Structures are given as structure tokens and as C-alpha cells.
Structure 1
């Protein structure tokens, strides 16, 4: 029985890309493919391309050509890009008819993993694109946050914090994508539950140019007033416990107890995605 070909899944990203790098580039394996026969990678996480950078690359290609071939795979109608969409787009801007390419045999899962991870390693995605890329790996390839962390060399809390951004309302997401809000500001806004309130406070932060500290004060002010009226002086132990839980879960956590010592822990979540993130932190699987 012939040996079954191993998938790229589960291998480190460096091992996957080394396959491309170690393949000898020669006239036999690089072909010129008409741009009209090439389609973008459907799993490309980057939705926004810097037009100025593309035009600069297009000028270089017009003068010197494409130095590094793109990587494609054969599809039903022509080819799909695996790696090299910027070079493809810039070649079109340079009015080229063809682009040099290496054709690789990849299944859907391998193409998805390489397309997403390659872009994540470049670290030039906006925060929402990066968060959506992690979500794609979780939903489509069934990777855990821990597995993504190992592949990319990023901490698990780092991955979790980006995934939480997907629960932001659309208008606030746009501010984050456009660079009007920072990642730290977006994380602060997530402590609010009402989407309309999040959008309103986000707009205030942008218009007034609030720092993260100022935004934190604005977001926490109503909570602080309510706490003083209803709970009075709280046990330092309970306060410290609450703060540690908030830090661990990346969301609002409320710890209450009565005189007998009995109490409850309330963990807020903003969406199903946020709930799944919390369950994973608790090592709870619903499969």
C-alpha cells in the first residue's frame, strides 16, 4: 500500500515555508502564468492593501520585473494564489500580462493554513484582520488557541485578546481598522456591555483624543459610583481575587459573598466567540 502523503497541518510554519525556500528555482519549475488566469487566495486574511506601497512595488516590477515567483495551486478555473498576492496585485498595476509562479500541489486545508499563517507572520495586518485570521484557524482548521500560539510563537493571552475584538460593534471596529483607536483602547471598551454605549464612548475617545488612562476612567466611572452605593467596603481578598480573575479572563468578573462565606463568581462575555474563548481558558470542551 502506498504511503499516505502527510498534510502540512500540525507542522511549524517555518517547516511549511522551508519547503518553498528549499525548492530549487529553475526554468523547469517556474512558469509565467497569465494574470487573467490567477485568482486571490480565498483565505487571505488581509482585506486592506496599502495603495502607496503597492504602487511603489508596481514601479519596481515595471522596471526590474518580479524577482521572487509567487506560489499558486491549480484550481478548476486557472490558479489560486497561495503566497504572493501583493506581487500579483502590483504586477497588474504595472500592466504586466504574466507573473512568474511556482505551481504546488496543496489541498484545501494546507492552502488555508499557509495563506493565513504566512500573513500573520508578516505582522502588518490591522487588529481586526488579525483577529479574524485567528478565528479562521479555530473554526476552519479546528486549531486551539494553544496550537496557534505554538505555531506563531505568540502567547495564548495575546491570541485571546485579539479574538475578543471580534465582539466589538461594527462602528468601533471601523475606528480600530482605520487606526483611530488603539488596541489598548479597544480592550478598555470591551468592559462595556451595551454595543451602542461602546460605539458612543469610542466616538468620544476619538473626538476628544483621550489617552488609554482617560478612557479607562470614563469607562469605569459609572461602575465605581454604583459599587460605593451598594457594596460599601469590600474585603481586600475579594478585591484582589476579582482583579486576578479579570486579568485571567480578559473580561468583567464579579465576586460576591455573604457573611457565612458563601458567594458566587459572575463572568461576563460579549458573544458566543467570547464565551468559547473563556471556556477554553477553563479547559472546558463541549465537543
Structure 2
């Protein structure tokens, strides 16, 4: 796994180690529609606002030029706090990034600052793969994480929207979510979630609860298979009886027919032998 540095990523696209800082109106800067972060903590914005009033903005925002202004690439918290502090202009560095570069930079900035929830990270990574053609390995290299970490994040998106909402609302951890992934049935997941929330279970307790549910589910599944096998065997007996009755009917009609059954590994072979003009004809039926 490579060690990633945020500034090195910018230099990769510009070929520069220094960038000119511009001061532009906050009214000309528009939010990034692909910003992976959906929720901004009000307290942290207030604290940043106080810092900006006292010291100013220490790190310029990153933007790219658009037809009607500038699109924010990195620094949405700083922009919100600057507006709250009453600043009319903010320092920015203007970059010529395409859509994919913008998506990657937005994700990297938030991941490195630990600003994203695990759901926001997973959604952002999914967008990079689905809309920008990146692989898990490419994302791992960009954000400085292992490929297995990226894969585990993406697996979280297999959980249904109902399960996700409960996890988010009750602020349950990523490990809680991963534990629930072991269960395939959404109804069982939601039932266990209710128990986890009601009893305020930690991760270890949640994993034990999931293990117990899995064993119960597997036991029930085995019982259903046994019952299905019994039902199938019963159906076969009905079919065999039908054949035997048909043979009996032919004998009663003066036709000396007979049936022979042969068991094979994956099927049963029935041969019905009916004499014709003093000879026998072999008619086979396989089930």
C-alpha cells in the first residue's frame, strides 16, 4: 500500500509544487454536486468560524473555473464557516481538473481529515467506480488504504436502505454494520437491529447475536430441506404406485406386462415390458 500525500496528488495533474493564491468573492463559488460529505456538524462549523475571524483562512480553498463562476473542489467547511464569519472573499487555488479528478480529490480530502461517515465513504467510492471507471486498486492507491479495506467499505452498500437508515439514525458503528452483513435476510437484519438498539449492544455482543441468529437460521433451513426431501420421496411413491396399478390393469386385461425398477446414483429407471406377438418390447421410463 502506498503512502499518499494530498499535495502530491495536485502536483500529479499540474506538474507544479507551488500554486498562485487568488482572492475571489464567496458569491462566485458554487458547491460541488458530487461532494461525498452529506452532513456537516454545526458545532465544528461554529468553531471554525471563530478561528477564521481570529486568524483568517490558513489554507486556501481548491476550485475549478466554470462558465458562471467557480466550482468548489475542496474546502466546503471552510467556505461555510467563512460565509458565517461574514467574509466577502476567500483565498483559493484554481485547478484545471476534470470530473473524475474532482470526485477523487473531494473523496481524498474528506477521508484524510476523517470527515466522512463510513456510509459517505462507501457511496463516494461506488461513484468513483460506477461513474469514473476506477478500480478498487486505483482508489486504494489514491486514498492510501488497502484494497481489502475498500472492498469492505463497498460491501456495506449491500445492506438495504431500511437497515442503513436505522444504523445511521442510532449512530451504530461500521463494525455493527459489517456484522449484520453476515445475514442475508433483511427481515432478520431489522429484527436483530431492534434488539441491538433496545439493549445498546456493543460490537462484540452484536457479533455473538448475529452468530446465534445464523445458527438458528441454518438449523431451520436444514429442517426445511429434510421436510422437502420427505415430501419428494412421498411424491415418488405415489408415482411408483401409479405405474404398478397400470401394470395390474394390463394384467387384468390379459396383457402379461411387467415393470422393472433400477436405482442409479442420480435417477431411478423404470422399464415396462409388454409382450407383442409372442415377443417382448422394452419401454423405459426414467425419473
Same fold (TM over 0.5): yes
1:150 aligns to what? 141
Is 1:192 aligned with 2:173? no
For normalisation by structure 1, the TM-score amounts to: 0.68
d(CA) in 1 for partners of 2:92, 2:15: 13
CA contact (8 A) 1:169 1:199 kept: no
1:224 is paired with a residue whose SS is helix
d(CA) in 1 for partners of 2:221, 2:49: 63
Q: 1:179 to 1:13 in 2, by over 3 A?
A: farther
2:168 aligns to what? 177
d(CA) in 1 for partners of 2:103, 2:56: 28
1:19-46 per-residue CA deviation (whole Å, 9 max, x = no partner) reads 6896546xxx322211111111222111
Q: Count residues with an aligned counterpart.
A: 220
Q: 1:78 to 1:127 in 2, by over 3 A?
A: same
For residue 46 of structure 1, the aligned residue among 37, 59, 78 is 37
CA contact (8 A) 2:170 2:197 kept: no
Q: 1:212 to 1:108 in 2, by over 3 A?
A: closer
d(CA) in 2 for partners of 1:21, 1:42: 27
Pairwise CA distance, 1:227: 4.3
The alignment's C-alpha RMSD in Å is 2.7
Say which one has the larger Rg: 2
For residue 132 of structure 2, the aligned residue among 141, 146, 149 is 141
1:168 aligns to what? 159
Structure 2 unmatched runs, 5+: 224-264, 266-287
Q: 1:225 to 1:68 in 2, by over 3 A?
A: closer
1:15 aligns to what? 8
1:205-216 aligned at under 5 Å gives the runs: 205-216=196-207
CA contact (8 A) 2:24 2:91 kept: yes
CA contact (8 A) 1:33 1:100 kept: yes
d(CA) in 1 for partners of 2:176, 2:138: 27
2:23 is paired with a residue whose SS is strand
Structure 1 unmatched runs, 5+: 1-10, 233-259, 261-287
d(CA) in 1 for partners of 2:199, 2:123: 29
For residue 76 of structure 2, the aligned residue among 55, 68, 85 is 85
1:64-143 aligned at under 5 Å gives the runs: 64-143=55-134
